[in-house]
Structure 1
Amino acid sequence: MTRSWLRSSLQLLWLVLMTLSPVYAEDLVVSYRSPESDNDRRLDYTTDLLRLALDKTVSSHGGYRFEQQDRMNKVRNIRVAKSNMHPNFFAVLSFDEAFAKEGLDYVRFPLHLGVVGYRVCFVAPAARAAVAKIDGVAELKKFSIGQGVGWQDVNVLRNNGFEVAEVPSYESLFGMLSKDRFDLLCRGINDVAGEMQAHPELVLDHSFMLSYPMPQFLYTHKDNQAARQRVELGLKRAYADGSLLNLFKLHFRQSIEAVEPLRRRVLKLSNAAVTGIDFDFKKYDFDLNEFSR
């Protein structure tokens, strides 16, 4: 057996194997921001969800490496995504048509299955008695609401006639509320249980719940289409096989059950921004009755 024959045989074998198995380039690198503080648990679910989506596509797209970047608030998060300074950087953002003009594209899947649009409110000490007596949106507008700088809720609330105080730091919101710097801090029913544990000094109102469409998506620079399409495919696969819903329940059951949403008076607001969404995001809405007691 000559060396040339052996070399030719090995090359032929390699070509045959390549036709039978997918051919991958090096592992895909995906970037994501770190939480703003040690008490910030808001990214736990979406970080796990992004990993799940990538895991669901390993067999078809190959491996990946996950890199968490520095801590940053929402404004810097958007700026970093627009700059494309990190490989395949994904940001969790509420829909805004302006992002497309600024070089961003989004994964067509609502990460929180509609529950972020249900908001319950922590109440400042001086406002507790008065807030407990409200019976509609008109009366609620008499109270100021604190929100983070860059949060899409700021536009929604102002467009519905509310006074909004914007605060640059997530942690500062809780301290400012406790000092009566504003009257209400309204949070998604998926987040509030962890925040109640981190800030036991605060009081959560139990009489009403705001409701407005507020789907959140994974946004990335428009040049990262291969990564965006892979994540979208992975999320849809995870939704179809039930693993996404299992992860959703693991993260949010405690919080949603704790606020007892079905026992609250629902005050509906509008959000004109969602009219620009180019797919049926509401078909993924989670039925709150699944968590009723």
Structure 2
Amino acid sequence: MRRLLLILVLFLPLSALAAFDIKLVSRDDSNARYAIAMIRLALDKADVEYTLNISQGTLTAARQQQDTEDGVIDIMWAATTEDIESRLLPIRIPLYKGLLGHRVFIVHRDKRNLFAGIHRFEQLQGFVFGQGKGWPDTDIMRRNGLKVETGTYEGLFLMADGQRFDAFPRGVNEPWSELQARPELELAVDEHLMFVYRMPFYLFVSPRQPELARILEEGMLMAITDGSFDAQMMSDPMVQMVVERGKLGQRQIFELTNPDLPDATPLDNAALWFDINSLRSPEEADESAE
């Protein structure tokens, strides 16, 4: 009997033997909740045993990357750059299928119509945009000729409320819940403009956990193939809010280049990217095609 059990164990797939005790740090915002749901989906698809040890906290981007590199954290989530991909193990499956590269603006309520008359990119160069210290978006916007004022994540909402800059661009799935969580601030979502650029938002795994990275990628691809990835994404409250409130067909779109997009980004795999026209009504899609 012991010999039979040993033989069975030896022939089990490695994923069936793995039991992962995974350390995460979450600030419990919409991105964190979504990323953790996708981690659970991938690990469930890969059929492994795991425990998620989630600590609540707010780390700077630099500290989060360093802690993940050192193995203090096992998985983090962020927009990709060449630097972070060189230090950590990227799971090159965009968590929002590229939606975070569609950016709408948080503005002060008194500036709801500030961008109503903007139709040329050159007109935007007189405005100041708020972004986070160390965020890839900051460099993208500056290298496209835009003025950027930086701050911490929480501080940027206060800066927008104090009109320290003109607009705080956010992923198209983010701003409504962020404003709902801060009703004391006099902020609103601009309905006129949208920036679009390639900025995949990935899971990144500590280089000390290569097997965990392999399992996560395996599970993510299974979820893409069987449709459960899209089902999870479209059931997310923030994505649903985009469909209901985004008004994407009515926005002036400005495409920005991402000069730091890593060469290994899977741009040619259409299954990994979201078609923005699927969020438009039939009438809006017709208008966009004209």
TM range (shorter): 0.7 to 0.9
Q: Which residue of the other structure, out of 105, 118, 130, is the alignment partner of 2:102?
A: 118
Select which of 54, 71, 77 maps to 2:57. Answer: 71
Match of 1:131 in 2: 115
**Distance of 2:33 and 2:165 partners within structure 1:** 28
Tell me the equivalent position of 2:285: none
1:176 is the counterpart of 2:159: yes
| Structure 1 stretch displaced more, 236-245 or 17-26 | 17-26
Deviations 1:126-180 (CA, angstroms, capped at 9, x unpaired):
6445432222221112111111122110010010111111112x22211211111
What residue in structure 2 maps to residue 48 of structure 1? 37
1:94 corresponds in structure 2 to 79
Matched, 1:34 2:11: no
RMSD over equivalenced CA pairs, Å: 2.1
**How much does 1:289 deviate?**
2.9
Q: Do structure 1's residue 85 and structure 2's residue 76 form an aligned pair?
A: no
Deviations 1:8-31 (CA, angstroms, capped at 9, x unpaired):
xx3244245436755754511222
Equivalent residue letter for 2:279:
F
State the percentage of identical aligned residues. Answer: 28
Tell me if the contact between 1:257 and 1:292 (Cα under 8 Å) persists in the aligned partners. no
Q: Are the aligned partners of 1:28 and 1:64 in contact in 2 as well (CA < 8 Å)?
A: yes
Partner of 2:267: 280
Contact 1:110 1:281 in 2 (8 A): no
Whether the 8 Å CA contact 1:190–1:256 is kept in 2: the answer is no
Distance 1:139 1:249 in 2: 35
Tell which structure's C-alpha radius of gyration is larger: 1
Cα gap change, 1:236/1:125 in structure 2, threshold over 3 Å: closer, same or farther? same
Name the structure 2 match of 1:226.
211
Q: Shift of the alpha carbon at 1:82?
A: 1.9
Question: In 2, are the aligned partners of 1:124 and 1:182 still within 8 Å (CA)?
Answer: no
Task: Report matched runs for 1:228-247 at 5 Å.
Answer: 228-247=213-232
Match of 2:126 in 1: 142
User: Mean alpha-carbon deviation: is it higher for 103-112 or for 158-167?
Assistant: 103-112
Q: Letter of the 1:30 partner, please give it.
A: I
Residues 176 and 189, structure 2, Cα contact 8 Å, conserved in 1: no
Q: Distance in 2 between matches of 1:100 and 1:267?
A: 27
| 1:7 equivalent in structure 2 | none
What's 1:255 paired with? 242
Q: Which residue of structure 2 lines up, in the alignment, with residue 198 of structure 1?
A: 181
Q: Residue 96 of structure 2 aligns to which amino acid in structure 1?
A: H
> Structure 1 residues 209-218 or 254-263, which shifts more?
254-263
Alignment length (residue pairs): 274
The alpha-carbon deviation at position 243 of structure 1 amounts to: 0.7
Contact (CA 8 Å) 1:208, 1:265: kept in 2 or not?
Answer: yes
TM-score (norm 1): 0.85
Does structure 2 conserve the Cα–Cα contact (< 8 Å) formed by 1:189 and 1:255?
yes
Structure 2 unmatched runs, 5+: 282-290
Check 1:221–1:21 CA distance in 2 against 1; reply closer, same or farther (3 A cut).
closer
- Alpha-carbon contact 1:208-1:266 (below 8 Å) kept: yes
User: Does the C-alpha gap of structure 1 residues 182 and 54 become closer, same or farther in structure 2, counting only changes over 3 Å?
Assistant: same
SS of match in other structure, 1:119: strand
Letter in 2 for 1:191: E
Query: Of 138, 147, 153, which residue of structure 2 is paired with 1:163?
Result: 147
Distance in 1 between the 2:159 and 2:93 partners? Answer: 34
Output one character per residue of 1:38-83: Cα deviation in whole Å (capped at 9) or x when no partner.
6x3221111100110011111xxx3111111341232321121122
**2:280 aligned partner:** 292
1: CA distance between counterparts of 2:76 and 2:25? 7
Contact 1:144 1:182 in 2 (8 A): yes
**Post-superposition shift, 1:255?**
2.6
Distance 1:139 1:12, change over 3 A: same
Structure 1 unmatched runs, 5+: 1-9
